[in-house]
Structure 1
Amino acid sequence: MSLALEDPVSALSGVGEKRQAALRDLGIFTIEDLLTYYPFRYEDLGARRPSETLDGEKVTFKGIVSTPAVVRRFGKRSQTVLGLLIDRENIRVTFFNQPWVAKNIEVGQEVAVYGTYNAAKAALSAIKLVPATTDALDPIYPASKGVKAKTIADLVEQAWGQLRGQMPNLVPQHLRDKYHLLDKNQQIEWAHFPKDSAEAKAGRRSAAFEEFFIFQMRLQLIKQADQSFGGQPLNYDKKAVATLIDRLPYDLTAAQKRVVGEILADQHDARHMNRLLQGDVGSGKTVVAAIAMYATVTAGCQAALMAPTEILAQQHAKSLAKLFDQAGIDLRVELLTSGLKAAQRRQILTDLTNGDIDIVVGTHALVQDDVYFHHLGLAVIDEQHRFGVKQRSKLREGGMNPDILAMTATPIPRTLSITAYGEMEVSVIDELPAGRKQIITSQLSQRQFDQALALMKAELAKGAQAYVVTPLIEESETLDVRNVTEVYQTLQAALPDYTVGLLHGRLKKDDKDTLMQGFKDNQVQVLVATTVVEVGVDVPNASIMLILDADRFGLAQLHQLRGRVGRGDRQSYTVLVADPKTDYGKERLKALVDTTDGFELAQRDLELRGAGDILGTKQSGMPEFQVGDPVKDLTMLTIAQQEALSLVRESDWDNQVENQPLVTYLSKTMAQFRHFD
């Protein structure tokens, strides 16, 4: 019976129910899955001399058996020892727990042995006998307890023996020519059965591009489908929007102007907007969102802003109302949160439905079943890493298909913006408002704490305020409070002329809010906190951030903390007090001292920690790639994105002959990716 690519792996000899289940756990369901399950490394089986081999290196030695194989037994364990003459060099070879080797070799026979070389003892710790004629690389596959790498290799060889030359080319010919990529069949051959390292490298290179390209094609098709879902152009009042911008108490930066232009162009387009607005801490995202919301209102629609916490929702509602009021624009801005009284909530819901409210600010309460808008034109989501298909579907079920503008102050490295956020258009505010001074960051050891204290006293004497942050000790809330209390008492004694506040996890919400308000009003000059100070809390008079045990914080977290200062015209400082024990800890703090660019830091963190670790692959929406590395292969990933975008923009791309294998493959596999977020 002939084998087909779409056949289940159970069609192969030696694959029963148990092995099929083990392969399924590795993501191998069909013969095609098996043939595109590539090795992650190769063992060089080409023979060498001992004099050419480094100590501890894995190597293949080919020679003549010079002494009989002797089996020594130690209970259930055994050692099989023999002599091997390689040219004029004699070495001792030891096989562990492989007593049958002695029956298969004899003195004078030529054999090839693969193992780890011990140069000092002129000895080889043997792993296996290999064919004496071999000169190739041995592919090593990601395996599991249920199925060994050798079993996968044997199954690949069995499948390829029947299907050699029958793999369809998913990457179009013009791209293979442009980037010197292999034909799919040659790619499979060289990736699984390379004759040398050059073939292995070329096979994996072509496989990695194909993997990135297919992923990007799926994203572009999802984006295309999303944009075509009932989008409506917003005919906003350009003069009114220009008037708002003119009446702002400050000039927009060039970056803000560029981003406003991108968003307004999207809103005016008939396609549905799904845009991510990235901006470092303090870059001015909120005013950009306010302009977009006002444009929506001038087009006769409503706008909604969703924040992750009630505190931030309240802050946004106040700042928006103040901004429009100062500009002399009459708009109704309301706050909808779970803390409202029943009567207030009912009235706001009624007014929303009737269209009497222009802009509503709230939390995810805004997408609950009893919330209906008169005509929602724009939904702004602040600090939501994912506002995906399910939430948009929820809005559509209510007869709405608003444009989506997601905002984040967490710098997203290019790798993640191309992958985890690849279905969104991305705007970046990469410039701070005029007058903002660069925050000076330094690192001190624990023994230099007095220097940090001296800097704090100098800033307080100038009328500034300070944050002091200690890390959470997750294992013990009691220990955590005791730790921060000791810091609080130390600072109270050291700063008798100033009011020191203490913020920790056991404080009641009202006490916490009162303390934060006291700090904003400068009734408290030094705020000692165990937790990350609320993202978005704005105290322009605070000029120093002292972070104790800074090596216990993540790089992104440290950058967010640093962003709490430098919000006014004072020169601001961040002092990292730490004695990092690991290279990673030292590199992390060095990166923070070297740059204040959040995007550069985010990319550096990704390089230091790896894509899977930085966010928790599944949690972040960061896809798992089998061959390509989205951090190391960022250039390739970017090119794959550009080429996928270019292809889907061709009106008849799916009817072109060279694209038919790709079209067929995507139509078979797209369903499982439609709701990937």
Structure 2
Amino acid sequence: MATVQELRERLRRPLAAELAGGCQNRVVAGGVEKLLSSPLANPFPMVRERLAGYADWDESERAEALQDALKLLGDKEKPKATATRSARTAPPTAEPGERLPPDAPVAQLDTGPGGTRKLSSLGLHNLRDVLHAYPHRHEDRRALPDLANVEEGQKVTVEGVVVNKHRRTPKPNMLIIEITLETPSGGRVKASWFNQPWVERQLREGARLILTGRVKKFGNRVQLSVEHIEKMEVAQDSLSTGRIVGVYDSKDGISQEFLRKAAFKALQAVPLDDYLPAHWRKQRGVTDLADALWGIHFPRDEGHLSRANHRLRFDEYLFLELRMLLQGDDAVLQGKRFQASGDDISRFEAALPFRFTNAQRRVLLEITDDMRSDRQMARLVQGDVGSGKTAVAACALYLAVRDGYQGALMAPTEILARQHYKNLVGYLGQLDVRVGLLIGAMTPRQKLEMQTRIAEGDVDVVVGTQALIQENVQWGNLGLAVVDEEHRFGVQQRRKLLQSRPDVLVMSATPIPRSLALTAYGDLELSIIDELPPGRTPIETKLIQDNYRTQAYGFVMKQIREGRQAYVVTSLIEENENLELLAATQLADDLKVILPEARIDLLHGKMSAAEKDHVMERFRRQEFDILVSTTVIEVGVDVPNATVMVIENAERFGLSQLHQLRGRVGRGSAQSYCVLIAGEHSQKTRKRLKIIEGSTDGFVIAEADLKLRGPGELRGTRQSGIPDLRLADLANDTEIIEQARELAKHILANDPKLEHPRLQYLRSELQNRSQSVAFREVI
């Protein structure tokens, strides 16, 4: 039988080998904890306790624990960890005070054992990644709260020393760990964790901790339900206490102290050369880059943090605008130069059955200024449903035709193309403008005939779908291209239309806030028609709970008996077309039982474009009364006889999408209605849906949607190519965006390819911030 001394040596050897091998937990099959569960470790309970939880630790924690365990086993000489294979091939770490370029790998930053792996696991591969991994929030730890004055439910951060610890298992599968933390002022706070055994290793008596959590008060006793824990190392006190402290995005096993230390070392190592010249910074009122980066990671005070935040937000927008403006050659193309005379505008308006609104006149003035310029027009016209965008576009097309050019209007679907064709014939036909139609549903002979007329200049304005940008369409003299609902097209599709360098006018009936429009459509100038023609009857909107559904459909039936039609839209939380189709089919079947008199049909995402067009055309011809649909109802389709829009489970839609759906009715002269049926009855849901019940202004609704949901979820923005903005606040940053856009345009107007030597840092930073290799090749 082995002696204790022999067991000690048999345990010591693998633990020493584990430490020397870089603490990879591979010393024996099953790892260190498997080794410690064997009889070999029975005589050494303190070693077992010190290494409990080893598999969950990072390399630095493992190394420290192994050294402690080896001392407990009587190892007099502290073993040195040898480099692993990967460490031997890594770049050498920088000497203290050595300067490193921003693109230096994080392995050159001395962040301790396992530091490179930790940073890489967070997507931080070089020093500029570390510099721009900003804290997601900041805590003021300059004067931590007096525990006697905190209120029930308040979220606080406290620091102190663990003076005792208890662990309880009041029932199977429940672990409660409680500690008492003594603060520097002598106060004591109880802190607890439920079913979180992995935190226990940080809770040894004497450990110095920083805890954040919600306060519970029991008389004079304060208890903290902990949400966040930091172990306060003596060497890092200045980075984690007594200051405004950044809190970073992280993951298990990567501490806040480690990330602060990495940011601090990166700021010390990298020369923070500013890519914005001093005179531009002064004009825009922004601080220098070094001040901003130090201020976002380690602010001296609130003012320092504020100006850092402002500068770095400005930079995010500046590089976004530069990228948008530089993508594709169309950013610097010469366009057509039109006369766009006031007499021609007056002649067009005189032929209309109405007068332009002031908003339409303002936008038309912006368009004609562009048309008279040598530079190619690239302008977005936004306007709510019924604001008169098509009439403005028709006037621009008329001005192009008067100068001997052709015009094109491209719509995303054939049914919308036919609708635009009908409208343009009405606007332009009496002014001797020849309007043609080119869509996929035409016969080969009809297409060939129209293509021939286009090539020979025998037609002035052509309305169509993507067929307009097919290779076999040759334009005689294309001067102006109007693109409706641009977000439905890919960027490359739009650029194909630009090859003959026409002026470009983009129309969108999807109101989005100005700040979002300036970023989503950064390569386009922005015009907004924010006024509806007089005499339009507002759509009445009513929010009801789902237990009043029967009354809602009774109202729908009343409208049908009066000769009207209705939409009913359904949605699921899951983005699953099969489930959505099932829900829509079930709803249609239910309505046939509830409303046996009504003629009901179905529209869903599984249908082909031709099938959807056929259903919509039948609905427009009043061949049935109720159209049950998923969210694929085409934007902009006119069914003047439809006066009711019922939206089931309205809480599952964003406000902007609800407003778009509501816009499918109110296209005729009759009073129209929108009924929102909410399946969820919380105060928060009702408050949100009340916004759309109380407003018909799409821009007001879009602003509210942006503030409630953020830019990432708003319809169309993900397709726009907007990158994740780390600091930007699109709901409140319109002024900063406009300043950044103005500077971006100024820079490119004077140096379209950023070739001047003084812009080398700016160019380099832009390339680094642009993930697309194809875009990097543009500059």
TM over 0.5: yes
State the match for 1:384 in structure 2.
486
Match of 2:673 in 1: 573
CA distance in structure 1 between the partners assigned to 2:191 and 2:555 by the alignment: 66
* Cα deviations by residue, 1:372-417 (Å, 9 ceiling, x for unpaired): 21222122111121656533543455xx112111111111211211
1:5 to 101, 115, 118: 101
SS of 2:419's equivalent in the other structure is helix
Q: Is the 8 Å Cα contact of residues 337 and 365 (structure 1) preserved in structure 2?
A: yes
Match in the other structure for 1:496: none
In structure 2, relative to structure 1, the CA distance for the partners of 1:675 and 1:347 (3 Å cut) is farther
- The equivalent of 1:502 in structure 2 is 601
What's the TM-score once normalised by structure 1's chain length?
A: 0.83
Residues 113 and 130 in structure 1, CA contact (< 8 A), matched pair in contact too = no
Aligned to 1:4, the other structure's residue is in SS state coil
Asked if the contact 1:71/1:99 (under 8 Å) is kept, the reply is no
Q: Which moved more, 1:22-31 or 1:315-324?
A: 22-31
CA RMSD for the aligned pairs?
4.1
Query: Aligned pair 1:50/2:147, yes or no?
Result: yes
Please tell me the residue identity of whatever aligns with 1:580. Answer: E
- Tell me if structure 1 keeps the 8 A contact 2:107–2:116: no
SS in structure 1 opposite 2:589? helix
Other structure's SS at 1:545 match: strand
* Cα deviation code 1:34-74 (max 9, x no counterpart): 223211123444444432444563423347x7x5x568699
The whole-number CA distance in structure 2 between the counterparts of 1:587 and 1:233 is 51
Name the structure 2 match of 1:246: 350
Residues 479 and 503 in structure 2, CA contact (< 8 A), matched pair in contact too: yes
The aligned counterpart of 1:480 is 584
Q: Which residue of the other structure, out of 406, 410, 426, is the alignment partner of 1:302?
A: 406
Among 466, 469, 472, the alignment partner of 1:367 is 469
Say whether 1:334 aligns with 2:436.
Answer: yes
What's the counterpart of residue 137 of structure 1? Answer: 244
Other structure's SS at 2:707 match: helix
Deviation at 1:276, TM superposition (A): 0.9
SS at match of 1:288: helix
Whether 2:318 is the aligned partner of 1:213: answer yes
Q: Secondary structure at the match of 2:436?
A: strand
Residues 78 and 99, structure 1, Cα contact 8 Å, conserved in 2? no
1:599 positional shift: 1.0
- Greater shift, 133-142 or 248-257, is seen at 133-142
Give SS of 1:152's match: helix
Structure 1 residues 235-634: aligned runs within 5 Å: 235=339, 239-325=343-429, 327-331=430-434, 333-385=435-487, 390-395=492-497, 400-449=500-549, 452=552, 456=556, 465-472=564-571, 474=577, 475=579, 477-493=581-597, 500-505=599-604, 516-517=616-617, 519-521=619-621, 526-531=625-630, 533-615=633-715, 618-634=718-734
Counterpart amino acid of residue 565 in structure 2 = A
Q: Which shows bigger deviation, 112-121 or 260-269?
A: 112-121
Aligned partner letter, 1:588: R
Matches of 1:540 and 1:667, distance apart in 2: 50
Residues in 2 aligned to 1:187 and 1:575: alpha-carbon distance in whole angstroms: 50
Matches of 2:363 and 2:484, distance apart in 1? 16
Query: Which deviates more, 21-30 or 577-586?
Result: 21-30
Asked if the contact 1:445/1:578 (under 8 Å) is kept, the reply is: yes
Aligned AA (1:140): V
Rounded to whole Å, the distance in 2 between the matches of 1:100 and 1:511 is 64
Query: Does the Cα contact within 8 Å between 1:114 and 1:129 map onto a contact in 2?
Result: no
Q: Distance in 1 between matches of 2:180 and 2:448?
A: 88
CA spacing shift, 1:104–1:451, aligned 2, 3 Å: closer
1:61 to 159, 175, 190: 159
Equivalent AA in structure 1 for residue 348 of structure 2: L
- The answer on whether the counterparts of 1:466 and 1:545 sit within 8 Å (CA) in structure 2 is no
CA contact (8 A) 1:302 1:359 kept: yes
Distance 1:330 1:144 in 2: 64
Partners of 1:338 and 1:17 lie apart in 2 by 63
Q: Aligned letter for 1:301?
A: Y
Q: CA deviation at 1:270?
A: 0.8
Q: Do the aligned partners of residues 290 and 147 (structure 1) sit closer, same or farther apart at CA in structure 2, a change above 3 Å counting?
A: farther
Distance 1:669 1:252 in 2: 44
What residue number does 1:152 align with?
259
Q: 1:37 aligns with which of 133, 147, 151?
A: 133
Distance (Å, rounded) in 1 between the aligned partners of 2:665 and 2:741? 37
Q: Which moved more, 1:427-436 or 1:93-102?
A: 93-102
Secondary structure at 2:462's aligned position in 1?
strand
Structure 2 unpaired stretches of 5+ = 1-93
Deviation at 1:654, TM superposition (A): 7.8
Contact map agreement 1:543 1:566 (CA 8 A) in 2:
yes
Over 3 Å counting, the alpha-carbon distance change for 1:142 and 1:354 in structure 2 is: same
Distance 1:94 1:557 in 2: 44
Counterpart residue type for residue 465 of structure 1: R
Q: Equivalent residue for 1:108?
A: none
Whole-Å separation in 1 of the counterparts to 2:716 and 2:427:
39
C-alpha distance after superposition, 1:453-487 (max 9, x if no partner) = 565566567x5523141314551534421312322
- Do the aligned residues in 2 keep the contact of 1:71 with 1:81 (CA within 8 Å)? yes
CA 1:675–1:429 in 2, change beyond 3 Å: closer, same or farther? farther
Measured against aligned partners, the alpha-carbon deviations of 1:115-142 in whole angstroms (never above 9, x if no partner) come to 5465435456664235477412332222
Which letter does structure 2 place at the counterpart of 1:471?
T
Match of 2:182 among 84, 101, 104: 84
Q: What letter is aligned with 2:484?
A: D
User: Residues of 2 paired with 1:154 and 1:79: CA distance?
Assistant: 29
Alpha-carbon contact 2:567-2:645 (below 8 Å) kept: yes
Checking the alignment, whether the CA contact within 8 Å between 1:617 and 1:623 is kept in structure 2 is no
Secondary structure of 1:435's partner? coil
Q: Which residue type is aligned with residue 447 of structure 2?
A: R
Q: Identify the residue that residue 637 of structure 1 maps to in structure 2.
A: 737
Q: Distance in 2 between matches of 1:179 and 1:264?
A: 30
Q: One-letter code of the match for 1:3?
A: R
Structure number with greater CO (CA < 8 Å, separation at least 6) is 1
- Return the alpha-carbon distance in structure 2 between the equivalents of residues 356 and 446 of structure 1: 57
Q: 1:387 to 1:553 in 2, by over 3 A?
A: closer
Match of 2:68 in 1: none
Give the partner amino acid of 1:640. Answer: A
Structure-2 separation of matches of 1:652 and 1:359: 33
Change (3 A) 1:466 1:255: same
With over 3 angstroms needed to count, the CA separation of the structure-2 counterparts of 1:652 and 1:491, relative to structure 1, is closer
Q: For 1:647-674, what per-residue CA distance to the aligned partner results, in whole angstroms no more than 9, with x for missing partners? A: 6667999899997754664577679598
Aligned mates of 1:72, 1:550 — CA distance in 2: 48
Change (3 A) 1:55 1:198: farther
**1:13 CA displacement:** 3.4
